[in-house]
């Protein structure tokens, strides 16, 4: 059989509406006019031997995002399904994927990618699907991703582990923020029967999603770079979280969410949840310039170098910001040369 005929057979499902998707690609977008075509193109380039669907939720964008999405859906009706809101739903309670996409997902597996990110490997879905098929104990698979500026200048690699393997639930809970690239997440669709209250009320959906899936199986990391995460896109969380009041409010909600996680997990990870809560409380003190943090156990247990860094952030934030900018430029230069 020649290669062309093999490819025709593998792609034949894309021309038929009779195939039931094995994987659902969930894409949330809002005012991503500049980026959404990169995302959709990266979905359509996937080479798989199974049917997949793409569900794109546009949250009442005020630019041309919805029009672009609609055009692609009309061109690829057997692959792309749309949810085009006329009123912004995120402002009414967040958890877009939980409320609108997961309930109608037909795939036994779900892959995530927001509208301002994109995949870079045409075998991504097939690789993750093969792994999950061979290892039923794995509930979530992730991989390396590259963090870039909005115009694709590389910043750093997102690698939750130094090498391929299982990510412990304790590490997911104790780590500051999400250590998994959202656009790398590929997981069992365990939400057809409903959503956990913990996930619905969590302030950071992808982090909570990782926790829930870790409680339903193993989390596996593939040491292969297959996607790009754009940092600093206008309106994104990475930009909004720079405002102190927003960040403090978010951290307080995270503490409340961790209390719900403790109940949801049957207190199995109480020690890890306590460690994470204490670290968040320490971070709040840093933002508020509360000098009591220097008497905090967390500060006392840090290395001398880390203590110096914290003192610097506390008393000389502008100087550290300049150093951080220089360091970022050096890293960026190295990544581009590589």
Most confident of 199-203, 262-266, 314-318: 262-266
Tokens 């996409």 correspond to 101
Are residues 128 and 23 part of one domain? yes
Q: Which of 72, 80, 42 is nearest to 184 (CA)?
A: 42
Q: How confident is the model at residue 2 (pLDDT cuts 50, 70, 90)?
A: very low
> 278 and 326: one domain?
yes
Q: Are residues 205 and 272 in the same domain?
A: no
Q: Provide the number of structural domains found in the chain.
A: 2
Range name among 77-86, 149-158, 280-289, 304-313 with the lowest pLDDT average: 304-313
Owning domain of residue 249:
241-337
Q: Which of 94-98, 165-169, 318-322 has the lowest mean pLDDT?
A: 318-322
Residue 273 lies in a domain: yes
Residue 3: pLDDT above 50? no
- Half-sphere exposure of residue 178: CA atoms within 13 angstroms, side-chain side: 22
Domain match, 29 and 170 both: yes
The answer to whether residue 236 sits within a structural domain is no
Local structure of 277: helix, strand or coil: helix
Average pLDDT over residues 136-141: 97
- Please determine, for residue 180, whether its predicted confidence score (pLDDT) is greater than 50: yes
Query: At a CB cut-off of 8 Å and minimum separation 6, what does 317 contact?
Result: none
pLDDT reading at 250 higher than 60: yes
Q: Domain for residue 235, yes or no?
A: no
- Mean pLDDT over 54-66 rounds to 97
Euclidean distance between CA atoms 327 and 322, whole angstroms: 9
Indicate the average pLDDT of the chain.
88
Structure tokens at 263: 């109940």
Give a yes or no: residue 245 inside a domain.
yes
**For residue 237, what pLDDT is reported?**
46
**Total length of the chain:** 338
Cα separation, 283 vs 287, in Å, equals 6
- What integer is the mean pLDDT of 200-212? 92
Same domain, 193 and 274: no
> pLDDT-based confidence at 335, cuts 50/70/90?
low
Is the pLDDT at 1 greater than 90? The verdict is no
Based on the domain organization, do 204 and 106 belong to the same domain?
A: yes
Q: Mean of the pLDDT values across residues 285-303? A: 87
Residue 172's pLDDT band (boundaries 50, 70, 90)?
very high
- How many whole angstroms separate alpha carbon 152 and alpha carbon 129? 27
**Is 254 a domain residue?**
yes
Of 196, 230, 264, which closes a domain? 230
Residues 204 and 265 in one domain: no
Lowest-confidence pick of 96-105, 166-175, 310-319: 310-319
> Is it the case that residue 330 has pLDDT exceeding 60?
no
Q: Kindly state whether residue 42 falls inside one of the protein's structural domains.
A: yes
Does the pLDDT value for residue 39 go beyond 80?
yes
- Is the pLDDT at 264 greater than 80? The verdict is yes
Highest mean pLDDT out of 174-178, 216-220, 229-233, 320-324: 216-220
Confidence band of 106 (pLDDT split at 50, 70, 90): very high
Does the pLDDT at position 89 exceed 60? yes
Residue 151, in any domain of the structure: yes
> Cβ(111)–Cβ(39) under 8 Å?
no
Q: Give pTM, 2 decimals.
A: 0.87
| Residue 305, pLDDT score | 83
Residue 81: inside a domain, yes or no?
A: yes
């Amino acid at each position: 059989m020649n290669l062309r005929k093999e490819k025709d057979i593998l792609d034949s499902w894309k021309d038929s509406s009779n195939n039931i998707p094995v994987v659902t690609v969930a894409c949330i977008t809002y005012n991503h006019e500049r980026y959404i075509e990169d995302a959709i193109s990266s979905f359509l380039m996937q080479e798989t031997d199974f049917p997949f669907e793409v569900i794109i939720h546009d949250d009442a964008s005020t630019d041309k995002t919805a029009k672009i999405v609609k055009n692609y859906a009309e061109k690829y009706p057997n692959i792309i399904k749309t949810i085009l809101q006329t009123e912004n739903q995120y402002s009414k309670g967040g958890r877009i994927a939980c409320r609108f996409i997961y309930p109608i997902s037909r795939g036994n597996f779900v892959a995530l990618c927001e509208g301002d990110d994109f995949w870079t490997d045409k075998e991504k879905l097939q690789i993750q699907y093969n792994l999950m098929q061979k290892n039923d104990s794995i509930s979530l698979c992730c991989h390396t991703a590259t963090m870039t500026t909005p115009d694709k200048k590389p910043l750093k690699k997102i690698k939750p582990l130094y090498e391929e393997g299982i990510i412990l639930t304790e590490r997911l809970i104790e780590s500051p923020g999400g250590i998994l690239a959202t656009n790398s997440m590929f997981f069992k669709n365990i939400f057809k029967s409903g959503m956990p209250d913990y996930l619905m009320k969590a302030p950071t959906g992808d982090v909570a999603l990782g926790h829930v899936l870790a409680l339903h199986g193993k989390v596996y990391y593939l040491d292969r770079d297959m996607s790009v995460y754009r940092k600093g896109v206008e309106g994104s969380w990475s930009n909004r979280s720079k405002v102190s009041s927003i960040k403090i409010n978010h951290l307080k909600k995270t503490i409340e969410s961790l209390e719900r996680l403790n109940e949801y997990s049957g207190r199995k990870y109480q020690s890890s949840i306590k460690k994470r809560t204490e670290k968040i409380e320490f971070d709040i003190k840093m933002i508020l310039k509360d000098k009591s943090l220097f008497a905090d156990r967390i500060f006392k247990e840090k290395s001398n170098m880390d203590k110096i860094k914290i003192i610097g952030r506390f008393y000389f934030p502008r100087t550290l910001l300049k150093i951080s900018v220089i360091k970022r430029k050096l890293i960026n230069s190295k990544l581009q040369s590589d």
